[in-house]
A and B are shown apart, each in its own frame.
Chain A
C-alpha cells in the first residue's frame, strides 16, 4: 500500500534528522577535546600538543606509567588547565542558562542578564571592592560571595515583582530591565566615589575574565552546574510545549507558572555561580543557544545539551585567542568574545529567515 511506504519514508526522514543532531553533538564534542589540547599547548611556553596530551593522560590514567617532566606537568595542570576547564564550564553553564531563559520567555533575545542578574552581581562585587562591605565570607571571598548573593537577590526581586502580575514573560522582562538599570546606576555611583585603585578593580571585574581560575573555583562551579543540569534537561518537554504558547502548554498538562519559576531559579543559580568567579562574561549565553537553534532547531531535548557544548567551545576559543594573540598581554575573555562574537552573530542573523524573530 502506498500510504504504508510513505509513512516509512517520513519515519526514515525523522530518524535521519535525529541522527544528524546526534552527529552534531559528537562533532562538537570532538572539536572541544581538540581545542582543549591545542589551547593547553599554546602560551608563553610552547609545549606542543603531544606533550600536553601525555601530561593529561598521565594524570587521568596513572596506570599507563607515562613519563612527564615536572615543568610540563606544572604548566599543564596548575596553570593552563584550571583556566581552560573553568572556561568550558562557564561557557556551558552560561549557554544552558541562556537557552532555558529564552525558552521560558519564548524570546530569543533574552538571557539571565536580561533579568538583571549580571548588573546585580556587578553591583555586589563593587560594594565589596569599594566599600569593603559584604554579606558573608572572609576578605578573600568577599567579592565572590557578594556578587553571588546580589545576583540571586536580583532574581528574587524580579520574581516578586512579576508574581503580582502572574509570571508572564513580558512582566518578567520588564521587571528585569528595570532592575538592571537600578543596579547599573548603583555600580556607577560606586565607581564615582571609588579611589583610582578600587575603580581599576571594579572595571576589571566587570570585564569578565578567567584569570582567577583555580581547581577550588572549578569544584564549586561544577557542583552547582551538575546539580542544575539534570533538572533543566528534565524540563525539556515542558519548554517544548511552551514554545506553542502558555495556553497550549497548559492544555498539554504543563504548569507554566511553575516551570517558568523553577527554570528561572536554576538558570540564575548557574549564572550566579559562574559570574561570581569570572566577572561578567555576557554574550555567550545569548549567542550559544542561538547558533545551536539555527543548526539543530529548538527541540530542547537537544538544544540544552548542545548549547552547553557550543558555549564551552565558544568561551574556550575566545579565551585562547585573548590569551595568545597579543602576547604577553592578555585580553579578558569577556571583551574578546564580544569583539569576535558580534560580527559572527550579525552574519548569522542576516542569513536567517525573518520568521525567526517574530
Chain B
C-alpha cells in the first residue's frame, strides 16, 4: 500500500467533518473520492498532506506516518494539486513548475532539476507558455500548470482536488488520461476528489463515496455508482447506462423538490403574462 488511512477523524471546532475514515491505495491505482458538497472530500485530502491535522487516526504514506515525517521529506513522496491557487505576484510558468523541485534542492538547481521541469512542460503541452506569467493565465491553464508542478515533484502519491473543475471538455480528458498513464507507467497512486461522476467512473480503479464525513460505499465504479447509492447520497434520481462496461450516469431530477418546481412554473407563467400581455 502506498497510502493507508486508518480511522481518521477530523472536526472544525465541534463540527465533525470526517468520522472513522479508513482506506488504502496501492501502486498503480487511481482512487476517486466522490460525494456532495461538504461531504469531506477536500478535508480528507488536506489531512493526508498535513495541511490539516486529524483529531484521531493515522495516515501512512509509503509506510511512514505523515505526522512524524518532516514536511520536506513528506514532499518527496506526496504531491498535491489544489483546485486553484492565489496568484498575486508575476512568476513565470516555468519557475512555477520548477517549484516542484523545491523539496529536492537546497538552493542551487542542478541541470537535472531543470531537465525534469522541461520534460513535464512538454508532457503537458505547456511549453508554449513557459515564459508567460502564471497570474495572467486562464483558470484552466493555471490548473494544468499546478498539476505540472506536482508532477515535477516526482511524488509517489498524487493528491488531486477536482483536477478537472476549470478545464474544458478536451482538457478534462487529456489531463485525466495523463494522470492514469502516469499512475500505471510509474506505479504511482492517485487520489482525486471528483464532482463529475462520469469522469470518476471512467478513469478510476476504485471509488469511495462519502456522505456526511463517513464512507457510504467503496469499491469498483460498477459497484458504487448505482442508482440507489446516488439517490441516497446526492438525493438525485438517475438512470445508469452500463453499455460501455463502466456505469454512465444520467441525472434526472433532484428528489423532494416537487413543490418548488410548481412554484417555479407559476412564476414562469406570470412572466409569460407580463411578457405577452
Contacts of B118-135 to chain A: CB distance below 8 A: 118-119, 121-122, 127, 130-131, 133, 135
Check if A7 sits within 8 Å of B122, measured CB to CB.
Answer: yes
Known contacts: A3-B122, A250-B49. The answer to whether A243 contacts B102 by CB under 8 A is: no
| Distance of B144 from chain A, by nearest CB (Å) | 14
Q: B136 — nearest CB in chain A belongs to which residue? A: A355
| Whole-angstrom CA separation of A236 from B118 in the bound complex | 21
Contacts of B141-160 to chain A: CB distance below 8 A: 146, 149, 153
| Whole-angstrom CA separation of A355 from B46 in the bound complex | 28
Known contacts: A10-B118, A11-B118. The answer to whether A356 contacts B72 by CB under 8 A is: no
**How many contacting A-B pairs (Cβ < 8 A)?**
121
Known contacts: A7-B118, A13-B130, A244-B85. The answer to whether A251 contacts B91 by CB under 8 A is: no
Check if A252 sits within 8 Å of B118, measured CB to CB.
Answer: no
State which of B74-82, B163-171, B202-210 sits at the interface with chain A.
B74-82
Contact check: which of A240, A250, A356, A358 meets B99 at CB < 8 Å?
A240
Interface residues on chain A, number (Cβ under 8 Å): 39
Contacts of B229-263 to chain A: CB distance below 8 A: none
| Distance of A287 from chain B, by nearest CB (Å) | 15
Contact check: which of A236, A252, A253, A358 meets B88 at CB < 8 Å?
A358
State which of A124-132, A262-270, A291-299 sits at the interface with chain B.
A291-299
- The 10 A-B residue pairs with the shortest CB-CB distance in the complex, in nearest-first order: A253-B72, A298-B89, A253-B75, A251-B80, A253-B103, A244-B85, A253-B71, A10-B127, A252-B102, A245-B86
Q: Can you name 23 A-B pairs with beta carbons within 8 Å?
A: A3-B122, A6-B122, A7-B118, A7-B119, A11-B118, A14-B131, A103-B89, A234-B107, A236-B107, A237-B105, A237-B107, A241-B99, A244-B85, A247-B51, A250-B50, A252-B99, A252-B102, A252-B153, A297-B90, A298-B91, A299-B92, A355-B136, A358-B135
Interface residues in chain A, defined as those with a beta carbon under 8 Å from any beta carbon in chain B: 3, 6-7, 9-11, 13-14, 17, 102-103, 106-108, 234, 236-237, 240-241, 243-245, 247-248, 250-255, 293, 297-299, 353, 355-358
